[in-house]
Amino acid sequence: MKITLQNRYPAQTFKGAEPVRLINILQKLRQTKPEDSEMTDIFIKEISKNKNIAEKSVKKYLTKGSNALVFETPDGKILKLTLGNHFPMNRPVESFDVPVYEHRKIGKVHYYLEEKLYQHGLSDVFVEEIKDSIRKKGYRPFDIYDGDINQIGLSKEGKLYLLDPECAKYKTIFHALFDKIKRILIKK
């Protein structure tokens, strides 16, 4: 059985084939999506402080989340801008998370460059596989339901990943504190 890979994010707005600077598309989004202007204003203000990121080329605006904007870069990666850390309680990136190639923080904004994943051909069995991966790492699945293939994706190499880090949370606040102390001690 052959699985055809399909982009997880359908491009919603972005005309023209030429890549555009990130700061320019944020300014355009500010004008065309007034309902998101408060969030977009914060992104513009913070991103303007870092020329390397402000000048980053994007070819598509893909979608938005409650505190995030998602773009595709000309080299086929996913660029996410989020208000605050995308990982709950600053948990580390785990093996079940989408690979993060680059992460920077600029004021309130976090910038993530991630692998582009695909969803075509995924089924309920894959959702259970991700949930098991989350549990094996000591977290609890959150906001990922049976058959919820929108939260998972497949890499070009066929590895399954969780798309939304918010779906894997510490079991309790004590688990989060213990993990943070453990990471500090390991660094020393």
Our count of domains for the chain comes to 2
Residues 90 and 134 grouped into a single domain? no
* Within-domain flag for 55: yes
What does the block give as tokens for 33? Answer: 């999506």
* Within-domain flag for 180: yes
Write out pLDDT tens, residues 98-125: 999 999 999 999 999 999 998 887 888 8
Rg (CA), the chain: 17
CA 90 vs. chain centroid, Å, equals 14
How far apart (Å, rounded) are the C-alpha atoms in residues 5 and 21? Answer: 28
Residues 38 and 102 grouped into a single domain? yes
Domain end residue (candidates: 114, 144, 167) = 114
What does the block give as tokens for 83? Answer: 């208000």
Cα–Cα–Cα angle for 71, 73, 76, nearest 5°?
Answer: 110
What does the block give as tokens for 154? Answer: 């497949």
The domain that contains 90 carries what CATH number? 3.30.200
Write out pLDDT tens, residues 40-79: 999 999 999 999 999 999 999 988 888 899 999 999 999 9
